[in-house]
Structure 1
Amino acid sequence: MATIVFLGAGSVTFARNLLGDVLSYPALADSDVVLMDVDADALERTASVARAMVDAGDYDATVEATTDRREALEGADYVLCTIGVGGADPFENEVEIPREYGVEQAVGDTLGPGGVFRAMRTLPTLLDVAHDMEAVCPDALLLNYTNPMAILCWALDEATDIEVVGLCHSVQHTAEAIAHYAGVDADDLEHWVAGINHMAWFLDAEVDGESIYPALHEAAADDEHYTADPVRFELLEHFGYFVTESSHHLSEYLPYFRTDAAVVEELTPPDGYEEGPGGITASWMPTGAYLEFYRGMKEWQAERDVEDVDLSVSRSNEYAARIIHAIETDTPRRVNANVRNHGGSITNLPDDACVEVPCLVDGTGVHPCSVGDLPAQLAALIRTNVAVQEQAVEAGLERDEDALRRAIKLDPLAGAACTLDELDAMVDDLLAANADYLPAFA
């Protein structure tokens, strides 16, 4: 019997899906589930749904809910972290203030000014989580879903003794998308993917031993496919490989796509684009598109009746429950996860970097695979992002404002849009606007 803690459980949809994954495994259906959130009302909604799911399926799992983090973590075996620190107001500042300086972020949660400042307001809370775990569940595995993934996991691994693994769904969603583009069944697709979170690459993608890359290149010439995913198809053409992050999000990590409003407009479908396999959302290219979605989702969740939630149990493509099941039952399984590169999984990236690589999971834990060298052009693109992450980790752990400013100045998109003096002025404005969320930089 495993004790599984959900931190940030107030997000009903995500918590419900992850709990459904756990309950879908008979070997985990008797788990002790502990839900924790600082928002008592949101927590109670999730707890009501979770208990109803357990009752509807007549599972042996138990569900507890608490707003006390230390109490929730007591004796945990696994901690799933989906927290968001600060909510919509600082998020809006992190998008709109850079916008005033010409830095156009569609999402703003992974790299760039938005990602770096999100890390600064999130890391202190995650460090508190890890230190609580050191005290009351030191052997527990922290499975982190919170962005910015690479910065946070790097910093937690650097500063604490807790084993942390970062999880995302971009590899799974991209596998679905490229199978769709290539006209093959996603269940038949074999792949080998490595890089960093939101910039990992399908180094191999095969069906029955045959590469689907020729079909992907043909798909790039198809207007419907290209319109759905223009940034990723552009990178495929110019750098030779398909990348894991969606076009709207990926466009922020590079200097090529967001410094000219006409280019953003050109890459945005004129009438929007219905979401397709793999979460195709090219219509989210405009600046602040995800912020608008985030606010709408919060309102929808707050107004949603618990009675309207689907209580059926099914297995999503998220990795968390797969990892827990593999460890608990000693069932070997391969997933893509975010870990430090200390073992040299990717030999032409820095040893300290947080990389997203194939990992073998069994009863002894999570073990990163050896990838070797990435193609030189892919490693070069990744290193531009790692440079920002490295400075952000230093800024967050050392409370170093100079490192914070260097992180912003090294960012590919910000550097393409602004002068160095403009970037300093932007940082000044962000520090002032979000001062309540950044006590370390007061």
Structure 2
Amino acid sequence: MHLVAFGLNHHTAPLAIREKLAFPAETLPSALASLVGSHAAREAAIVSTCNRTEVYCAANDPDAALAWLAAFHHMDAAELAPYLYRLDASSAARHAFRVASGLDSMVLGETQILGQIKDAIRVAEHEGTLGTMLNGLFQRTFAVAKEVRSKTAIGASSVSMAAAAVKLAEQIFPTISELKVLFIGAGEMIELVATHFAARNPSCITVANRTLERGEKLAAQLNGNAMLLSELPESLARYDVVVSSTASTLPIVGKGLVERAIKARRHRPMFMLDLAVPRDIEAEVAELNDVFLYSVDDIANIVEVGREARQVAAEQAEVIIRERVDEFLGWLKQRDSVPTIRALRDEGERIRRHALDAALKQLAKGEPAEQVLEALSKQLTNKLLHPPTQALSQARGDEQDALIDTIARLYRLNRSDV
């Protein structure tokens, strides 16, 4: 069984492709069940964020698992091929360690990705698709991320995407305190961004969500108010800033809706930030005058601040990761020998039981115990030494030399005496 990882991220694929391959949270359980149920993989875990979709699996046929990914999203494998990476055990471990440590993120050193990976692993564990191999990989992944954080300054001076959202808005409007801000969605990303905006004391904060209860809970933390998504058409024009991040598979805000809102605003500018993958706001909205629409990829330059200082820490982190990858590969190699060890012990137990049964029968017949024990010891010795002895006597040339070295090491024999 092979450990493999494959997927795409912000380095290899544009947003238009990433959103096609995303797994919304509500689809993850069924996707994992489909992958393992199709026998394309024995174990599976899926990490899907705004910047990446990655499948980690233990599979007998990695090609079948890769084909499953395209089929699940109703895409042509050839269309995906230019954007996908496929990693073997060594590369998959290194990649997982780097991602969890924030070395592969748009924001070098950011910490949110670690929580997202842990969430993904909890789902896989709950669905029963996290076996021994993947559990071993991700337990080490979390340990490596912790070690990198504690031994390097990888997270120092980082500008999060949430903070970058505020910086973008400040480039368009003179002050946040005079703005009305609308957040669409009530998940973790929205909560992070909303917290940064709330610190600037905007004149109004509103959370629009599919369920009012969850929206009200977040709004209460921000001293704002909540509304249902269905109220957007009548309310959108009131807001200067709109930040959206939901798990919807289809756009929530269309070009026509924004066009009507801008007209009602008498063309006062509107800043819109779409952090969702797939996107919540139709890309065509960017064509409208007085609308400043940004996606997750558009804020990359802003989050580069402080990257040079963190790069030194990243190099230190890479050293730690290389060492931990070697340790993980050693663990994998040990696992390869487990079936042989189990079979060897089973064979030894079979020989022991057979010899013991024979000895018990002899004792039952009244034969002397010393004589029975002597026969038992000889039988066990002969049975256990017969396979290596026979192999040695039948081997020739290099094979015989190799066997002699192996047996000498196994039985701790002095090589000069054999």
The reply to whether TM is greater than 0.5 is no
So what's the TM-score if we normalise by structure 1? 0.23
Q: Which has the higher contact order (CA 8 A, sep 6+)?
A: 1
So what's the TM-score if we normalise by structure 2? 0.24
